[in-house]
Structure 1
Amino acid sequence: MKKVTIADVAKHAGVSKSTVSQYLNQRFDYMREETKIRIEETINELGYKPNILARSLKQKSTTTIGVIVANILHVFSTQVIRAIEDVCNEKDFHVIICNADDQPEKEKKYIDMLRAKQVDGLILFPTGKNVEQYQELISENYPVVFIDRLINGLQTDTVLLDNEKASFLAVDSFVKHGYSKIAVLSPPIEPDVTPRVERLSGYKKALEHHQLSIREEFIVSGKTTDMQSLIHHLFQLSDPPKAILATNDRSLMELLSYVKKNKLSIPKDIGLIGIDDVSFADIYNPGLTTVAQPAFEMGEKAAELLFKRIQEKEEPNQAEIYRFEPTLIQRESL
């Protein structure tokens, strides 16, 4: 079948090609309502599909952004992505989502691929291992925003939680409920993964604030595949903890799995708080006390910052770090 062109639409609707072009680009300021209706009906009747590539070349915009997530399995990541997509939908932009699996090689490949596709900007949950590539983006004034992780020395807008406060709120709540033997459970503490480093720091500062000793055997970190044995070792200590702070959703689920397998009772045998307000926290029995991140607000902020960068024609102003407040949601796990 012969491909329907913008000229075919214009001829069939009895208008000029420029009028059809204005309609397609939603420039309706001086267009009569009956003209809009006639063009819309013609497009539907002829089955016209705009040439997206040609339009992007003409407008110097693909109306597409890329989002590279460190690990899409986290609840926080999916909530942030949803918020970004909502903002983009309002602006008639498309989103390409890539999952780096915390692998620098995959992240680098995705950055190269998205730039080759000429996306208008990037939102990164950076692995932290491709600093030269990040710096190249920034030096070229390419629109880029970081979220969840801070890369020291790079001048780009970054959106993240006040992670130290998140842990502080949790430990403070434990202490107020009478706990003094408080452990922390975390994925591997890696310098480039800001939330892990800062949440551990917040945990230690909170213990010091309440004049509680920091016991190294109560600081448990490791891969998900090792979590069960690490938790078991924690409970086998001669003087085990009476409360555990799980620093993210996946650590929390490993802890809950251990509790169930070993028929432990919450909070009788162990008090529990998790950072990230997982969807099942309020329906779990007992309800799980959590420290929530404002994920949707953080995703919206990241998208807004990126669009501001995209719209700026000259060199952007000084980059800023935007910290969001965590919220303690008290339930029955203490």
Structure 2
Amino acid sequence: MTLRITIADVAKKAEVSKSTVSQFLNGRFEYMGIKTRTRIEKAIKELDYQPNVVARSLKKKTTSTIGIIVANILHEFSTQVIRAIENVCHKNGISTIICNADDNPEKERIYIETLLAKQVDGLIVVPIRRNSDIYEKLVDENFPIVFLDRLVEGLPIDTVLLDNETASRIAVNHLIENGYERISIVTTSIIENITPRVERINGYKKALESNGLPIHLDYIKAMDITQLGEGINEIFSLREPPDAIISGNDLTLMEILKYTFENNIEIGKDVGLITIDEVSFSQIHNPPLTTVAQPTFQMGKETATILLNKINNKVDNQHSFIHRYKPTLIVRNSTQKEGVTNE
């Protein structure tokens, strides 16, 4: 096992004090001779020393800047909450740096380290579970951080997210009230145990059971976005295909709409459709789409407020809370059989 090279190792090899190395790493060269700087540079290169950007960033002065890392900026949810966060920060004289991790843990880790190296005052993150170690370090150092949209078990970090099970229950109940019984749910992959996707499937199952309807596993598709077209084809190829579909998010919705258009399946007539997450085109789509909307702007506002309070020491960073928001049903024609509007 390779031992981690420390500042002390660099100082010893360069024949200087640890504080001198620290000053070098932080760009404070005012009272440092050229020969000293050269020895430190050489020692760092020969030892392949990698500074601990987490530890370094936690000792700096404030910069009036926060970092925002979203899992996938293509989600309309992401753009809406970012807009709300940015608005709160702007009013409080705080700048934002926005990063898109693409649900890639390595990319997320790089962004975290980069933002910390830039000495941001706090972080808002849609987290990827495989980076829990770096979040644990931030918690241990009392660094201001808030999670959005996803829970990470075992980490005492304030988290703002939707009541996802209720969102699915609302969708299922609405479809049943409109005469649908063979209800499918389609969403993106749950391999990483991503909170909203898992909870929405769980809520869907519970809602079917409470209404006395069987759970058909063939009606549940949770797949990578590149495979969803194949998954949707599978459910429509069943001997008894679903008469209604719940779309788990906006990216899934696009795949469903693409498939139904290409296969001449009429929404609201051949199949009912309801999507979790309001989308910008829901009212102008033909037929207009029934949605279960998240209060994205309220969620973004609270997320930013929680973080700024942490930064300003107005709350106890050692106690975390889960902040759940209630979804809202917006009824339109896509869940009305034969395209009849529900008055």
The two structures have a TM-score, normalised by structure 2, of 0.79
Two-structure CA RMSD over aligned residues (Å): 1.2
Query: How much has 1:314 moved relative to structure 2?
Result: 8.6
1:191, CA displacement in angstroms?
4.7
Equivalent runs, 1:269-280 vs 2, <5 Å: 269-280=270-281
Change (3 A) 1:64 1:216: same
Q: Take 1:236 and 1:122, find their aligned partners in 2: how far apart are those partners? A: 46
1:7 corresponds to which residue? Answer: none
1:126-180 per-position Cα deviation (integer Å, ceiling 9, x unaligned): 0111111111111100000000000111111100000000000000000000111
After superposition, the C-alpha distances for 1:52-95 in whole angstroms (9 at most, x for unaligned) are: xxxxxxx9211100000011000000001000100011011110
- 1:102 is matched with 103
Provide the rounded CA distance (Å) in 2 between the counterparts of 1:88 and 1:159: 17
Give the alignment of 1:34-183 within 5 angstroms: 60-183=61-184
Which structure 1 segments of 5+ residues have no match? 1-58
Tell me what 2:230 maps to: 229
Mapped partners of 1:124, 1:96: distance in 2:
12
Shift of residue 312, structure 1, vs aligned partner: 0.8
> Residue by residue, what CA displacement relative to the aligned partner does 1:203-261 show, whole Å, maximum 9, x if unpaired?
00000010000001001121111111111111111111100000000111100011111
CA distance in 1, matches of 2:313, 2:63: 16
Maintained 8 Å contact 2:189/2:225:
no
Partner of 1:259: 260
Identity, in percent, stands at: 52
| Secondary structure, counterpart of 1:130 in structure 2 | helix
User: Which residue number corresponds to residue 297 of structure 1?
Assistant: 298
Partner of 2:31: none
- Secondary structure of 1:129's partner? helix
Where does residue 241 of structure 1 map in the other structure? 242
- Alignment partner of 1:146: what SS? strand
Aligned to 1:284: 285
- Misfit runs of 4+, over 2 Å: 313-317
Looking at structure 2, the residues matched to 177 and 313 of structure 1 have their Cα atoms a distance apart, in angstroms, of: 48
| Rounded Cα–Cα distance in structure 2 between residues aligned with 1:297 and 1:319 | 19
Contact 2:309–2:315 (CA<8 Å) still a contact in 1?
no
Q: Which amino acid is 2:119 matched to?
A: Q
How far off its partner does 1:192 sit?
3.4
Give me the whole-angstrom Cα distance separating, in 1, the residues matched to 2:105 and 2:294.
Answer: 25
Measure, in 2, the Cα distance between the counterparts of 1:149 and 1:316.
Answer: 19
> How far, CA to CA, are the matches of 2:328 and 2:159 in structure 1?
20
1:87-129 per-position Cα deviation (integer Å, ceiling 9, x unaligned): 0110111100000000000111111110000000000000111
Query: What's the counterpart of residue 21 of structure 1?
Result: none
Instruction: Quote the Cα distance in structure 2 between the aligned partners of 1:117 and 1:62.
Output: 9
Paired with 1:184 and 1:200, the residues of 2 have a C-alpha distance of 7
SS at match of 2:160: strand
- SS of 1:172 mapped into structure 2: helix
Secondary structure class of the residue paired with 2:264: coil
SS in 2 for 1:132: helix
Tell me what 1:201 maps to: 202
Task: Give the TM-score of the pair, scaled to structure 1.
Answer: 0.81
Change over 3 Å in CA distance of 1:198–1:256 after alignment to 2: same
Q: Residue 144 of structure 2 contacts residue 317 of structure 2 at CA under 8 Å; is this kept in 1?
A: no
Local SS of the residue matching 1:133: helix
Return 5+ residue gaps in structure 2 as ranges.
1-59, 336-343
Q: Which amino acid aligns with 1:215?
A: H
SS at match of 2:267: coil
* Partner SS for 2:281: coil
Q: How many residues align?
A: 276
Describe the SS at the equivalent of 1:61.
Answer: coil
Contact 1:151 1:192 in 2 (8 A): no
CA distance in 2, matches of 1:207, 1:72: 32
Q: What is the DSSP-based 3-state SS (H/G/I as helix, E as strand, rest coil) of the residue aligned with 1:333?
A: helix
Provide the rounded CA distance (Å) in 1 between the counterparts of 2:62 and 2:79.
Answer: 26
For 2:44, the equivalent position in structure 1 comes to none
